[in-house]
Amino acid sequence: MLEILNQYLYHKIEESDPILLELEVYAKEHKVPIITKEVAEYLKMMLQIKKCHNALEIGTAIGYSGIYIARQITGQLTTIEIDEERFEEAKVNFKKADISNVVQILGDATEKIKEIQENFDFIFIDASKGQYQKFFEDSYPKLNQGGLIFIDNILFRGYVCEENYPKRFKTLVKKLDEFISYLYKNHNFVLLPFGDGIGIGLALARSIFELQNGTITACNLQNGGACFEIRMYSH
């Protein structure tokens, strides 16, 4: 059902920006992971609602998501990429998109995050899945009060929810499952099951659903975990 919903949303979203369309084609041809269209639209809406000033991105890739973020914030985007080739590709793409409010950092985010001195209103994590909890724990202290951390691909192709998946991903799936449990236990967190699974703060999720004439509520379960009730009403 979720796959059908994602496909429906994907075909409803019409991108008109030539740079982003070019990057979508390039990413598909060269198997570069980028955020899906529905996640990109959701990302834009959240940034508009939050009115963020500055942002940190962990995982630049070719700059696709960074372009979305940089265009929606009033300040600076700091983005980290470990792969030198993609770092250089992103530099070219930011220039093509006329993005000037970006600072690129080349290196391992597990080291580079600690070197950053400023704090951020928005943090976007979309890099090595096995390091997600490390990225989160290192970047969380740099989040401004009332800020938001947005985590993409947290369900990893849906494998986190399944019992049968390729054995080579066993360790990674276990890490992501433990990370999700950690977030629910220790932070104000909600997982939204579209795209490849995104994690955001519950307060922001509530604001977004209210704007869409809906509600979202949460409660802790006795044996651990949480239960979320989402209601959407027709106008």
The 10s digit of each residue's pLDDT in 23-69 is: 999 999 999 989 888 788 888 888 888 889 999 999 999 999 999 99
**Parent domain of 152:** 2-204
Residue 162: give its domain's CATH number: 3.40.50.150
Write the DSSP string, 65-109: HHHHHHHH-SS-EEEEES-HHHHHHHHHHHHHTT--SEEEEES-H
pLDDT band at 173; cut points 50, 70, 90: confident
Domain assignment present for 163: yes
Question: Is residue 223 domain-resident?
Answer: no
* Total number of domains constituting the chain: 1
pLDDT (0 to 100) of residue 179: 83
Tell me if 220 is assigned to some domain.
no
- The answer to whether residue 227 sits within a structural domain is no
Residue 193 belongs to some domain of the structure: yes
pTM of the predicted structure, to 2 decimals: 0.76
107 located within any domain: yes
- 221 assigned to some structural domain: no
d(CA 78, CA 212): 31
Phi, psi (deg, nearest 5) at residue 143: -85, 125
